[in-house]
Amino acid sequence: MPDMVLLETEEMMENTIESLKKEFSKVRTGRANPKMFQDVKVDYYGALTPLSQIGNISVPEPTQLIVKPYDRSIIKAVEKAIIAANLGVNPSNEGTQLRIVLPALTKERRVQLTKDVKKMGEEAKVGIRSARHHGNDALKKLEKNKQISEDDLKGYLEDVQELTNTYTNSIDELVKEKDIDIMSI
């Protein structure tokens, strides 16, 4: 039973890391990345559909993206969806495709992005600590119901803290890597 609590706690922490990675993929660095459009939804015949499902996104140059819808009749809807997503880019309609040129990041913008990344990292750490709290409470409840001994509880609490330290260090590494990525020109 306590092993299940540890597994659930670890799974919650792993989900927090995955969520952070997903958030980081949306942060613009100096290079074009199709993942910046992963949350863009296009009104496709009355249904909000992810852009990646209705078109091809390619990177012809490090600072350019090409969005080519499979159905040319929805090019205006795709353009509208990209603008509405508020990504700080302006698509250029070329009839059958959209060309997005990413403007160079200024030094101030890079500094702001690193601050945003650190804030996201801190929010992820709060998620890790929440998972730790949840795990510790579940273990204490097991001890209270006499399902594990007090000595076992102490050992399991140490295991939860070890998990917390591991995942917190992982977040620090991810933040550091993203900072380097943002600051490199």
Which tens digit of pLDDT belongs to each residue from 71-113?
A: 888 899 888 988 888 777 888 889 889 998 887 778 888 888 8
Of all residues in the chain, what percent carry a pLDDT higher than 70?
99
Domain boundary, last residue among 84, 101, 118:
101
Q: Are residues 161 and 96 in the same domain?
A: no
pLDDT at 185 over 70: no
d(CA 14, CA 167): 8
User: What is the domain count for the chain?
Assistant: 2
pTM of whole model > 0.85? no
Where in the sequence is the domain holding 149, given as residue range(s)? 2-26+106-183
Which tens digit of pLDDT belongs to each residue from 50-62?
A: 988 998 998 888 8
d(CA 73, CA 70): 9
Q: Are residues 125 and 166 in the same domain?
A: yes
Strand segments, DSSP code E, in 1-152 are 41-44, 47-50, 55-61, 64-69, 91-93, 98-101
Strand segments, DSSP code E, in 19-178 are 41-44, 47-50, 55-61, 64-69, 91-93, 98-101
Q: Are residues 44 and 17 in the same domain?
A: no
Domain CATH for 87? 3.30.1360.40
Q: Are residues 61 and 12 in the same domain?
A: no
d(CA 145, CA 93): 65
d(CA 111, CA 173): 18
d(CA 82, CA 101): 13
Q: Are residues 166 and 118 in the same domain?
A: yes
Q: Are residues 22 and 45 in the same domain?
A: no
d(CA 6, CA 135): 7
Domain boundary, last residue among 85, 101, 117:
101
The number of beta carbons lying within 10 Å of the beta carbon of residue 69 is 21
Buried b (16+ CB within 10 A) or exposed e, 147-173: ebeeeebeebbebbeebbeebbebbee
DSSP 44: E
Q: Are residues 96 and 114 in the same domain?
A: no
Work out whether the CA dihedral 156, 158, 161, 163 comes out positive or negative.
negative
Q: Are residues 49 and 87 in the same domain?
A: yes
- The amino acid at 57: I
Residue that wins the pLDDT comparison between 71 and 164: 164
Q: Are residues 111 and 170 in the same domain?
A: yes
